[in-house]
Amino acid sequence: GKRGNPVLWDRRFFPEMAGLAGDVGARHLIGQYEDLVVEVAFADTAPALDIDTPDDLAAARATASPPSTDAENGSP
């Protein structure tokens, strides 16, 4: 498979990540801590969003569809 987003981080990495700049992100941390990396396979191969900043998150929220309810799915 191919590594990609989403990448979920344990909070112990937040201080080190807070000092990063540019769009390279924390990719080097994955290599540095490769023994802690857990890869999870996804059936959906659609590209995931890369959310690095509060503005990225706001843009993703603006384009996301609201979750469907059981009633909308035809479930009782």
Q: What are the pLDDT tens digits along the chain (76 aa)? A: 677 777 888 999 999 888 887 767 788 888 899 999 998 877 766 667 778 789 988 988 888 777 766 665 565 5
- In this predicted structure, what is the pLDDT of residue 56? 87
Question: What pTM was computed for the model?
Answer: 0.52
Residue 59 CB coordination number (10 Å): 13
Quick one: pLDDT at residue 18?
87
Among residues 17, 39, 21, the alpha carbon closest in space to that of 29 is found at 17
pLDDT the model gives residue 64: 76
Q: Strand runs (DSSP E) across the chain, as ranges?
A: none
